[in-house]
Amino acid sequence: MLNKVHDSAVSALEFARERGSVRDGMTVMVGGFGLCGIPEHLIVALRDSGVSGLTCISNNAGVDDFGLGLLLQTRQIARMVSSYVGENAEFERQFLSGELEIEFNPQGTLAERIRAGGAGIPAFFTATGVGSPVAEGKEHRDIEFRGRTRQYILESGLWADLALVKAWKADRAGNLLFRKTARNFNPMMAQAATVTLVEVEEIVEVGAIDPDQVHTPGSYVDAIIQTAPEKRIEQRTVRSG
């Protein structure tokens, strides 16, 4: 099997650049939910690469000084395809000033659009968002399903030039194991891009991960790096003493 391990985020990004997946105007998927499961080192390398005009597909945009918030600071993101954006003041400012284009998605719809793209499904119908601004400009159709006819809207599958993914453990062939809620959007994004780069906390030899524990097969992974994550807490709630 191929050894997919690179010695740094910069090296992995250069590998993706050589394959045409790092360039101005590209579409990039970035894993994470809040501050959990963010490929933070790959994001820094993407920022330092200087690419601009990015379309970023991610549940949210991190916070002002972490995650995708770093790319917002440098104005490298032109468009976000997201679900939740409430924790980033710079995101809010750019959106309200018209500097940043945003395509809002119900969270389940966003997840399914990514999953569909990875499965080669170009579009699907869903009832989520019918009658709301989400449905504006989209095809509507009355469909009978499970004995009930209701209205659905057409949503497209999503595909990216590049996916930046965070996992817990990988072997050298790229088989991935995620840990708890850090799994979030990461596995489906790994399957929905031309090139997938992954940062992990631990790299083991091929065969060290039980095949029944593999969450994402190595066939979806192009390059791996080992990093030490910061593991921030998004909101800390404590009792008064």
How do residues 30-74 score in pLDDT, each as one tens digit?
A: 999 989 999 999 999 999 999 999 999 999 988 888 999 999 999
Q: Is residue 89 part of a domain?
A: yes
Residue 85's Cβ-count burial label (10 Å; 0-12, 13-18, 19+) is middle
Q: Is residue 2 part of a domain?
A: no
Q: Is residue 237 part of a domain?
A: no
Q: What is the extent of the structural domain holding 149?
A: 124-156
pTM for the structure as a whole: 0.94
Residues 168 and 148 in one domain: no
Give the CA count within 13 Å in the CB-facing half-sphere of 235: 6
Contact 192, 117 (CB under 8 A): yes
Q: What is the mean pLDDT of residues 165-175?
A: 97
Q: Is residue 19 part of a domain?
A: yes
Beta bridge partners, 50, equal none
Q: Which helix (DSSP H) or strand (DSSP E) does residue 112 occupy?
A: helix 107-118
Residues 100 and 177 in one domain: yes
Q: Is residue 235 part of a domain?
A: no
Residues 135 and 178 in one domain: no
Residues 39 and 106 in one domain: yes
Residues 55 and 136 in one domain: no
Q: Is residue 46 part of a domain?
A: yes
Mean of the per-residue pLDDT values for the chain? 95
Q: Is the confidence at residue 1, as pLDDT, over 70?
A: no
Q: Which two tokens stand for residue 80?
A: 């976000």
What is the CATH classification number for the domain harbouring 28?
3.40.1080.10
Beta-strand ranges (E) seen in 33-184 are: 54-57, 77-82, 101-104, 123-126, 140-145, 148-156, 160-166, 169-171, 176-177
CA dihedral of 213, 16, 70, 52, whole degrees rounded to 10:
-150
Q: Is residue 100 part of a domain?
A: yes
Name the domain count of the chain.
2
Q: Which helix (DSSP H) or strand (DSSP E) does residue 193 occupy?
A: strand 193-200
